[in-house]
Amino acid sequence: MTDSPHYMTPEEAREVGCPLSMAGNPHIAHKSCLGPNCMAWRWAKESVEYENGPFLQDIWRNSTTYGYCGMVQS
C-alpha cells in the first residue's frame, strides 16, 4: 500500500505538519495533521480480488489503514 510516498497511517499523520498551518493561515489553530478528522483527508484506494461464481474480479475500496492529505499534490 505504500506505493505513494504521501500515503500514511493516521498515527503517522499526527507527526506531520498541516500544510494549511504552514502557509500562515490564521484560521488554522492546529499545527499537526489531524488525519481522518480533517476534511482534506482522503483514504487510499486498494484493490481487492473476490470470486464471483467462476470469475475472479477486482474491486476498489477505501483502505482502512492508509490515507493522505488532499491538500498535498501527488
Structural domain contains residue 14: yes
Per-residue model confidence (pLDDT) at position 20: 76
Per-residue model confidence (pLDDT) at position 61: 80
Structural domain contains residue 3: no
Report the predicted TM-score, pTM, of the whole model to 2 decimal places: 0.67
C-beta atoms surrounding 13 within 10 Å: 21
Structural domain contains residue 43: yes
What is the Cα 62 distance to its own chain's centre? Answer: 9
pLDDT in tens, 1-55: 556 668 999 999 999 888 877 666 666 666 888 899 999 999 988 877 777 666 6
Structural domain contains residue 5: no
Structural domain contains residue 1: no
Total domains in the chain come to 1
Domain ranges, residue 31:
10-69
Structural domain contains residue 4: no
Structural domain contains residue 46: yes
Per-residue model confidence (pLDDT) at position 49: 74
Structural domain contains residue 28: yes
Per-residue model confidence (pLDDT) at position 41: 92
C-beta atoms surrounding 19 within 10 Å: 15
